[in-house]
Structure 1
Amino acid sequence: MNDTTRDLLPEGLEDRLPQATAAATRITRAIMDVMDAHGYDRVQPPSIEFEQSLASRMAGIQSRRMFRFVDPASLRMMALRSDVTPQVGRIAATRMAAQARPLRLCYNGQVLTIKGDGLDPVRERLQLGAELIGSDSVAAAAEVVAVAVEALAAAGAQGISVDFTMPDLIEDLASGPLPLSPEARDAVRVALDSKDAGALTAAGGQAYLPLLYATGPLDSAIERLSALDVGGVLDDRIAALRLIAARVGDAARLTLDPTERHGFEYQSWFGFTIFADGLRGYVGRGGTYRILGPAGDAPEPATGFSLYPDPLIAALAAQEAPRPLLFLPLGHEAAVAAALRAEWRTVAALSDSDDAAALGCTHQLVDGVIQGV
């Protein structure tokens, strides 16, 4: 009896075939080259770690999203990583703790979650990123945003836009100029998340209504945010956004949504999401955060970004022309073939029945001369 399901992949997982793999390799190299050019050294953490290490390094990491199992050697719970950022934090806080700060590290690798995000069923994604350990200053944030945009542009992304947010804004306002009880804070956050003015008023958050309209293109959104009368509490934040925007310049469209929280669970004062024309969903996230060190040590500030280029890979792979491939007939000279491989990808015939066109070759070697197929 045939098993018709033996070759199926689980939901949210897929093979990457040659054309897409070639695009993925090129895009990964382009992104990594930009990060390397800015002084970010690559690290390569393992794909599996103890669950406690992955889940406790940063606030907001959800271990329930990870595939977990018991390690037969240590009998401790292990997990497949759902995010590389905590692993880089572990490396920085332990094996590279004595290195001078700010410490610039970058990475790439696959991440896996138990289920997809929202309506997106994908459970395995390529993640590339850079972390600037030891600083969450305005200068650090400006550098990280600029590097992320430059990396995506080098990879082939078009029409890049960056949406800024302030993950801890509500907490700061509620603890200061616009006081709210702990219960009201939760309700106000939910209302702001859903952009529901009625619910915001019902929760006692009338003073927060201007935040609903301080969204959109950065310049105009900042002006509306500046009009919020909170005794100058927002002045430093607004100045910081302007400085970050100046560093990015015309490389990307810039927008602001000051109360956006989804995906920024472990960010502190600044966060951002990156989009690109023609690609569904976001292609990157980043911001400032804290790395939790050994017990008793103060958390270490950091700034970074993660890019998820799978949609870009799919889009560019579909547009690519076949790569040149040279067919070498039986009896070709090995030395000639070796010289040709300095400029060509080659496929050597193994038998008289091998056919250049059938093997996908664009050219063939005929009597020492390269001809089109």
Structure 2
Amino acid sequence: MTDPISKGLLPEGFRDRLPPQAEAAADLLRTLLDSVSAHGYERVSPPLVEFEDSLVTRLSSARPQDLLRFVDPLSQRTLALRPDITAQVGRIAATRMAHIARPLRLAYGGPVLRVRPAQVGPQREAMQMGAELIGSDHVDAVAELLGIALEALSAAGLADMSVDLTLPDLVGTLASGPWPVTTPLADVQTALDGKDAAALQGLDASRYSALIEAAGPAESALTRLKSLNAGGALDTRIAGLERLVATAAPHAAVTIDPTERHGFEYQTWIGFSVFAAGVRGEVGRGGTYLVRHPGGGEEAAVGFSLYVDGLVDAGLGASRRRRLFVPLDTDSEVSAKLRTEGWTTVSALTDADTPKRLRCDYTLDGEELIKL
């Protein structure tokens, strides 16, 4: 039987990025980070590995079996590879940067690794980029982050975007106030997850069917939400949605699904997902959440994560570089000057090297640049 290692095979869910996709990924990450940093977000770079118990404590709904783990030969403690960077930024904000005045604006970019691939693709390794504002979950803070995310994606060349807004805590808020339920709240939420109005009827929670009907384009969804008799419990949520719709509308189509919870388990009052034509799955997601402090306190925050791999797979970032063949014995100062002018120089090392062999578009003939 052929040894898979000798054939260059990789573990399931992992892949090599070759030229030009590898360069496209690096360029896109740089573009996204530059766009975010222009708004005052300072970059942090957490390690790829942390203690398992630290990651499990800070990650939403994380279990040890959900992490790629190994025993550290130095400390003899179990370490884990991060499946997400957001929680690491929260740790940094709550510990190493706890003394910095709030709001604290941080950005990051790097690889994450999962035990199992995401539902939208087979890959277990992904490039994640994002920004976090620690110290506030006010609607103005959310609007800032949502606007920055869309601006960064536009700078990366993405068009035809859509944003889906959701209210992760809405059902719980209504159940503890104007719309009490006699059955377990989890059953009501499960029925809403499945958009199952019949199940809500059987749970004696038929009034919650109105939330299913409220899902759709922003304008009609807001109209339906405003018509619900919820004793004023929706007023601040509706005002927040209106503010965010106004923020996103110039850049993307906006929809609202007030009961969507999948992937928003640790979000508080608002969550959002970004999609785009030609990109498989979500381009990114974000919302408000709580940062846990070592002493037991919590701090409001809002942030977003963008997924670079989907952008690369959609063909973004792959700019064609002008590769210029430099013959043997060319003065190095000539090549250096050409690089300052934006050329990518590829120098011949032997007489066997030719422009075609080195995949060049141009060749240098004396002082003349000749297109091939």
State the secondary structure of the residue aligned to 1:39: coil
Q: 1:119, CA displacement in angstroms?
A: 5.1
Distance 1:24 1:93 in 2: 30
The sequence identity of aligned pairs, in percent, is: 50
Which residue does 1:291 correspond to in 2?
291
Superposed CA deviations along residues 169-216 of structure 1, whole A, max 9, x for unmatched, are 1111111111124x5311111111111111221222201000111111
Contact 1:273 1:285 in 2 (8 A): yes
Tell me the CA shift for residue 11 of structure 1: 1.4
Q: 1:336 is matched by which residue type in structure 2?
A: V
AA in 2 matched with 1:17:
L
How far does the alpha carbon of each residue in 1:279-337 deviate from its partner, in whole angstroms, 9 at most, with x for none?
Answer: 11101010000011113x421110000001211112225x9564210000011111111
Partner residue of 1:222? 222
* Per-residue deviation, 1:76: 1.7
Cα distance in 1 for residues equivalent to 2:145 and 2:335: 45
Counterpart in 1 of 2:236?
Answer: 236
In structure 1, the partner of 2:157 is: 156
- DSSP-derived class of the 2:369 partner: strand
Partner of 1:31: 32
Q: Distance in 2 between matches of 1:197 and 1:208?
A: 8
SS of match in other structure, 2:184: helix
SS at 1:60 equivalent: coil
Q: How far did residue 131 of structure 1 move? A: 0.3
Deviations 1:59-114 (A, max 9, x none): 43444321012222222221100000010000000010000000000000000100
Q: Distance in 2 between matches of 1:148 and 1:206?
A: 37
Counterpart pick for 1:334 among 320, 332, 335: 332
Instruction: Say which SS state the counterpart of residue 100 (structure 1) adopts.
Output: coil
Shift of 1:5: 4.5
SS of residue matched to 1:268: coil
Conservation of the 8 A alpha-carbon contact between 1:195 and 1:212: yes
TM-score for both structures, normalised by structure 1: 0.96
Query: Who is 1:324 aligned against?
Result: 322
1:244-263 alignment runs, 5 A limit: 244-263=244-263
Cα pair 1:58 1:290 within 8 Å, conserved: no
| 8 Å Cα contact 1:61-1:266 kept in structure 2 | no
**1:19 is aligned to 2:20:** yes
CA gap of 1:58–1:13, structure 2 versus 1, over 3 A, is: closer
TM-score by length of 2: 0.96
Q: CA deviation at 1:358?
A: 2.0
CA distance in 2, matches of 1:250, 1:301: 28
Change (3 A) 1:360 1:97: same
Alignment partners' CA distance in 1, 2:236 and 2:335: 64
Unaligned runs of 5+ in 2: none
Distance 1:95 1:314 in 2: 36
Task: Give the match for residue 356 of structure 2.
Answer: 357
Range with greater deviation from structure 2 (358-367 or 50-59): 50-59
- Whether the 8 Å CA contact 1:184–1:204 is kept in 2: the answer is no
SS at match of 1:49: strand
Distance change (3 Å), C-alpha of 1:332 and 1:85? same
Is the Cα–Cα contact under 8 Å of residues 56 and 292 in structure 1 kept in the other structure? no
Distance 1:324 1:171 in 2: 57
> Do structure 1's residue 96 and structure 2's residue 97 form an aligned pair?
yes
Match of 1:372 in 2: 371
| Residue 359 of structure 1: how far off its partner (Å) | 1.2
Q: 1:304 is matched with which residue?
A: 303
How far did 1:2 drift?
A: 4.9
Query: Where do 5+ consecutive residues of structure 1 fail to align?
Result: none
Contact 1:129 1:305 in 2 (8 A): yes
1:165 aligns with 166
Report the 3-state secondary structure (helix = DSSP H, G, I; strand = E; otherwise coil) of the residue aligned with 1:272.
strand
SS at match of 2:126: strand
SS in 2 for 1:68: strand
**Matched ranges for 1:92-131 at <5 A:** 92-118=93-119, 120-131=121-132
Output the CA distance in 1 between the equivalents of 2:69 and 2:147: 36
Query: Are 1:193 and 2:198 matched, yes or no?
Result: no
Count of residue pairs the alignment pairs up: 370
Q: Distance in 1 between matches of 2:135 and 2:59?
A: 15
* Cα distance change of structure 1 residues 63 and 224 upon mapping to structure 2, 3 Å threshold: farther
